[in-house]
């Protein structure tokens, strides 16, 4: 019999603590990111959980170990932390370095990387980057993008929890699709057909009847045959739904508060990553300007000369024009567009009683891209059944969903934020594939 204890599970020393430990002796582990050999010794940069640490080792007495060192070796280093003024933005902390007494090689790669991981910028064709994703993600800049996304998720959770929301976990194998249409993946589920979830929408609405305010962070799947820089077929959706609203504007107000918390968290917790990526964080105020879709088409038509009046949605060029317009006119990089037509929104979206044919719905545009879709939902049973039928669907196919309405729901609404999209726009990355670990698109199922 073995006795297992938690002795030694003290965690890693974060970079911010190392910065205050000048003069102390430490033993750390990491992976060699790069080596710069000089006549007197070498600078050895090791990759740790929260950045790169610069280690310095002289030749005297260390010739054998220095000769054996190479990139992607896992090592244990021991030495004393000394003050330093490191200008390389990929090094964290930049105010100390490790005067290294000893290095122990723990594990060796089977072969050397096929790409130069020592470059400041990993300048690869995107297909090469994604084909070699288990390796390319080890580059500091690639890691930094995902760290920003992770920080957004944590702040999203914390912000909503502080506002009384309960986190839920909903199934991703479903009997029907929340959005309908053809953009839904079919899967064989034992002896019958099922679908991958396009959205947790139905379950969020059920959750309103349970907890009043709910949220989820999880994957959603869209079988859209797009091969563009703004689409992937599996992405992370940041969803929330809230009850007892008096209008969809309350949903928009909560989003403003959440986004402010997310941006503050990125500013506070990702200073190292933001500096390395040379990103400029947007400002977000207590209000975000809001215009209707009809007004949006009018603005873009006047600027571009292309008349999109009557179109049920915004095209990508219009989104860019509107964001530029919003920044110039209202000093806001964010812009709400509201009142999309009934035919363009899912059957659970509430129609505007004062504007027949339009819905109490909105998109949030940010730096030229739609990053959020939301609105008020139908909460009355008869109204929801009627609208399902108006969409040419059979209410019997939605019996479990309609239970929530049949047994009573308060007025409610919610939204979904695309994590990859908002991360890409914060960091001004053109292709959202670079803001997820292992993207899935029309052609890519690996790694």
Burial class (CB in 10 A: 0-12, 13-18, 19+), 172: middle
Cα four-point dihedral sign 435, 436, 438, 444: negative
152 and 31 share one domain: no
Domains: count for the chain: 2
191 and 334 share one domain: yes
pLDDT score of 224: 87
152 and 93 share one domain: no
165 and 69 share one domain: no
CATH code at position 34: 2.40.50.140
pLDDT score of 153: 98
**266, 272, 278, 282 alpha-carbon torsion, rounded to 10°:** 20
In a domain, 135, yes or no: no
Structure tokens at 79: 């030495």
Q: Which helix (H) or strand (E) holds 386?
A: helix 381-390
User: In angstroms, rounded to a whole number, what is the distance separating the alpha carbons of residues 209 and 412?
Assistant: 10
In a domain, 57, yes or no: yes
Strand partners, 80: 25, 99
63 and 161 share one domain: no
pLDDT score of 1: 76
Structure tokens at 315: 């095209």
The total of other beta-carbon atoms located within 10 Å of residue 332's CB is 19
Domain that holds residue 22: 15-107
Q: Where in 66-191 does DSSP place strands (E)? A: 74-83, 96-107, 166-167, 173-174, 186-189
26 and 156 share one domain: no
Q: Is residue 428 helix, strand or coil?
A: coil
102 and 155 share one domain: no
In a domain, 2, yes or no: no
In a domain, 4, yes or no: no
User: In angstroms, rounded to a whole number, what is the distance separating the alpha carbons of residues 90 and 141?
Assistant: 8
User: In angstroms, rounded to a whole number, what is the distance separating the alpha carbons of residues 136 and 125?
Assistant: 11
Q: Which helix (H) or strand (E) holds 335?
A: strand 334-338
Tokens 């909560």: give the residue.
Answer: 254
Written as tens digits, the pLDDT of the chain (447 aa) is: 777 766 655 568 999 999 999 999 999 999 999 999 999 999 999 999 999 999 999 999 999 999 999 999 999 999 999 999 999 999 999 999 999 999 999 999 999 999 999 998 998 999 999 999 999 999 999 999 999 999 999 999 999 999 999 999 999 999 887 676 668 999 999 999 999 999 999 999 999 999 999 999 999 999 988 888 888 999 999 999 999 999 999 999 999 999 999 999 999 999 999 999 999 999 888 899 999 999 999 999 999 999 999 899 999 999 999 999 999 999 999 999 999 999 999 999 999 999 999 999 999 999 999 999 999 999 999 999 999 999 999 999 999 999 999 999 999 999 999 999 999 999 999 999 999 999 999 999 999
Q: Is the full-model pTM beyond 0.85?
A: yes
30 and 166 share one domain: no
145 and 95 share one domain: no
Tens digits of per-residue pLDDT, 272-291? 999 999 999 998 888 999 99
Burial class (CB in 10 A: 0-12, 13-18, 19+), 335: buried
pLDDT score of 386: 98
CATH code at position 250: 3.30.930.10
pLDDT score of 9: 54
Residue 2 gets which letter from DSSP?
-
User: In angstroms, rounded to a whole number, what is the distance separating the alpha carbons of residues 78 and 257?
Assistant: 45
pLDDT score of 354: 95
């Amino acid at each position: 019999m073995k006795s297992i204890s938690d002795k030694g599970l003290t965690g890693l020393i974060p970079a911010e603590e190392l910065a205050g430990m000048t003069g102390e002796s430490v033993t750390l582990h990491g992976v060699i990111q790069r080596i710069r050999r000089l006549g007197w010794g070498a600078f050895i940069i090791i990759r740790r959980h929260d950045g790169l640490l610069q280690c310095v080792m002289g030749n005297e007495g260390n010739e054998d170990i220095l000769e054996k060192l190479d990139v992607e070796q896992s090592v244990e280093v021991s030495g004393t932390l000394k003050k330093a003024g490191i200008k390389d933005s990929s090094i964290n902390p930049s105010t100390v370095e490790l005067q290294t007494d000893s290095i122990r090689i723990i594990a060796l790669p089977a072969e050397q990387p096929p790409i130069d991981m020592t470059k400041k910028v990993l300048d690869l064709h995107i297909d090469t980057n994604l084909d070699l994703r288990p390796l390319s993600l080890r580059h500091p800049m690639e890691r930094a993008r995902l760290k920003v996304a992770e920080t957004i998720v944590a702040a999203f959770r914390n912000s909503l929890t502080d506002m009384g929301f309960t986190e839920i976990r909903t199934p991703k194998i479903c009997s029907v699709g929340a959005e309908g249409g053809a953009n839904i993946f079919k899967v064989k589920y034992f002896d019958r057909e099922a679908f991958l979830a396009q959205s947790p929408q139905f379950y969020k609405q059920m959750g309103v009847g349970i907890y009043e305010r709910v949220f989820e962070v999880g994957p959603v799947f869209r079988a859209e045959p797009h091969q563009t820089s703004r689409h992937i077929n599996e992405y992370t959706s940041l969803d929330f739904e809230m009850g007892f609203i008096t209008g969809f504007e309350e949903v928009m107000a909560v989003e403003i508060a959440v986004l402010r918390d997310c941006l503050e968290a990125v500013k506070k917790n990702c200073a190292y990553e933001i500096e390395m990526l040379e990103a400029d964080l947007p400002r977000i105020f207590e209000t975000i300007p809001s215009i209707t879709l009809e007004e949006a088409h009018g603005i873009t038509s006047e600027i571009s000369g292309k008349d999109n009046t009557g179109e049920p949605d915004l095209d990508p060029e219009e989104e860019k024009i509107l964001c530029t317009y919003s920044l110039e006119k209202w000093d806001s990089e964010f812009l709400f567009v509201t009142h999309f037509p009934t035919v363009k929104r899912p059957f659970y979206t509430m129609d505007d009683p004062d504007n027949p044919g339009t819905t109490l719905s909105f998109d949030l545009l940010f730096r030229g891209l739609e990053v959020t879709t939301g609105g008020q939902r139908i909460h009355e049973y008869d109204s929801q059944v009627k609208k399902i039928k108006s969409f040419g669907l059979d209410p019997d196919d939605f019996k479990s969903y309609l239970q929530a309405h049949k047994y009573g729901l308060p007025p409610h609404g919610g939204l979904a934020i695309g994590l990859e999209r908002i991360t890409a726009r914060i960091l001004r990355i053109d292709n959202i594939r670079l803001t997820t670990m292992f993207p899935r698109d029309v052609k890519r199922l690996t790694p």
